[in-house]
Structure formats: C-alpha cells, structure tokens
Structure 1
Amino acid sequence: MKGQQTTVRILLADDDEDDCMLAREALAESQLSSELCVVKDGEELLDYLYHRGEYANPDIYPRPNLILLDLNMPKKDGREALKEIKNDPKLRQIPVIVLTTSKAEEDISRTYYLGANSFIIKPMNFPSLVKMMQSIGNYWLEIVELPL
C-alpha cells in the first residue's frame, strides 16, 4: 500500500447501527486516509463484492482494500460470508478482519480456519475503539503491502 494509493477503501459489514457510527467516528478520529463503506449483513457484503443489485457500479462501489467483518448478522452471518470470500480466487486476497463481541474460542478457531486474517474483539469504549482503529491502520495500511 505504501506509496501505491493515498486513500484506503474499508468495507465494514455490521448490522448494529451504533457500532457502525462509532467505527466511522473512530476511523475519522484516528486520522487514517480512508474511505469507509458500510453494509448491514453478509448478503449485502457479497452483493457489494460481486457488484450485484444496488452495488452494480464498480466505479461507485470499488473493491475494498480491507474488510471489517462482524460475525453475528442477519440473513447471512459473518462466518458464511467469510467462507465465500476466502473460497473465491478473485476475492480471497482481500484481508478480512473479524471485528466482533464474541470471545468464544470456537469462533476464533473457526474464523481463522475459514481464512480470516485477524480476529479482534470489539472494544467497549470509544477511546479504545479509536486506538484499535489506529492500530489497524498502522499495521494494515502503513506497514504491510496489500494487493491492488
């Protein structure tokens, strides 16, 4: 990523409107050069990635550089969406960070087995969320090189 592009596209899949609002504010507070798009369930996430329905225009909904994925969502949960993403040769290179309230060992093991790049338990307060977003940004957007 370094030197390749200035704005990083992050796709957040989470059905909790408050969590989405806090994530958006934390990202802004963290001063990362990023663009955040939010989808509310696994089906909408896959529609975005495959440019289906309202997400048909790739110029308006470009491929994300990073996906933040909640596990417990309606319609298609994060586990199912993660499995589809990582089984698709065109999508599997997109890093997926599971961002959830679950602390269950089964969820941690299962999501790594399915191909998650990181598993992070959602912080309980805003300052911790900002710090987490800064850490994600520092690592995924400044240190590692991501495919275009």
Structure 2
Amino acid sequence: MSTETERTGEQIDILLVEPNPGDSRLFEEQFADAKLLNTIHIVSDGDSALDFVHQRNEYADEPCPDIVLLEPQLPGKSGIDVLSELKNDPVLAEIPVIVLTSSDAGEKIVQSHGLEADTYMQKPVEPEDFVEFVRSIEEFWFAIVQTSSQ
C-alpha cells in the first residue's frame, strides 16, 4: 500500500480545545473548506477535554483523538493542567498535542511550567490564514504517522 493510498484512506480524529466559539467556528469551516480527511471534535474547557480523551461521561462513545489542538488559556482546568495530565499518563502521552498560542510568549509560558508540547503553532489572525494552518496540522500528523510506522 502506498503512502498516498494510506493518506486518502485514513481519517484523523482531531480534538480542538478552544473556549472561543468564533475561533472554533473558523476552525470547523476551514477544515471543511480544505477538504482534509478528518473529523473535528470541539470542547471549550479543560475538564471536557480530559473527559473526551479518557472517553468518559458524555464523551464515552467518542473516539480517542489522534491529535489534540490545545488552547492554553481555558476556563476551569487550564490548558497547562490538561497538557500535564496528557503527558503524565502513559497511554495518553502518545497523543500528539499542538499548543495553540497567540504569540511567542504563549510558548514560553507553557515551557515555564516544565511541560513540553509536541509542537506550538500561533493562531492565525486572518480567516484565510486558517487554510495554511490546517494544512500544516495535517502535514504534522502525517509526519508523525510515517515516523511511528517506520
């Protein structure tokens, strides 16, 4: 099976942890417009994010995400706490986490807590920038899949 065939046949389950409904809607629209192979699941706070990845409570029937896009500034349990729990759980630590920042300072704040995400991406300001952002997420995912399968 060629890599191209694998790409067209593999769906990615993405968990977006984003408290801003406007940003969430932009993500959904841009993922759809870019026609990427994925399902995007959206939660707006840290507790819901952890319930989702643990597949408990209202998320018991949801798939475990292949990748998590995490906004560090969340209501309730912070994105830092979510990242810490993900990275300290042997099963969940395998899930790549992309921390969405609004500036370089956001990356430094996460790192100041002694935590390291798989990567950091600055949120685009202009809606048209989301397409490129979405493609970079897809490329990041396929790079991980290819690395882990070799």
Bigger CA drift: 114-123 or 3-12?
Answer: 3-12
Query: Runs of 5+ in structure 2 lacking a partner?
Result: none
Which of 26, 30, 44 in structure 2 is aligned with 1:26?
30
The answer as to whether partners of 2:80 and 2:110 remain within 8 angstroms in 1 is no
Q: Deviations over 1:46-100 (max 9, x none)?
A: 011112211122xxx0111000000101011111100000000010000000012
User: Aligned partners of 1:108 and 1:102: how far apart in 2?
Assistant: 12
- The total of aligned residue pairs comes to 142
User: Taking CA–CA contacts closer than 8 Å with sequence separation of 6 or more, which of the two structures ends up with the larger relative contact order?
Assistant: 1
Query: Runs of 5+ in structure 1 lacking a partner?
Result: none
Which of 8, 11, 27 in structure 2 is aligned with 1:7?
11
Q: Deviations over 1:16-39 (max 9, x none)?
A: 000000011111122210000001
Letter in 2 for 1:106: K
- Cα root mean square deviation, aligned: 2.0
Q: Could you say which residue in structure 2 is the equivalent of 1:93?
A: 94
User: Aligned partners of 1:46 and 1:125: how far apart in 2?
Assistant: 29
Q: Could you say which residue in structure 1 is the equivalent of 2:45?
A: 41
The answer as to whether partners of 2:110 and 2:116 remain within 8 angstroms in 1 is no
Matches within 5 A, 1:115-130: 115-130=116-131
Give percent identity, aligned residues only.
Answer: 35
Q: SS where residue 10 of structure 1 aligns? A: strand
Q: SS where residue 75 of structure 1 aligns? A: coil
Q: TM-score, normalised by structure 1?
A: 0.87
Which of 18, 21, 28 in structure 2 is aligned with 1:17?
21
Which structure has the larger Rg? 2
Letter in 2 for 1:144: I
Q: SS where residue 129 of structure 2 aligns? A: helix
Question: How far has the Cα of 1:108 moved from its partner?
Answer: 5.1
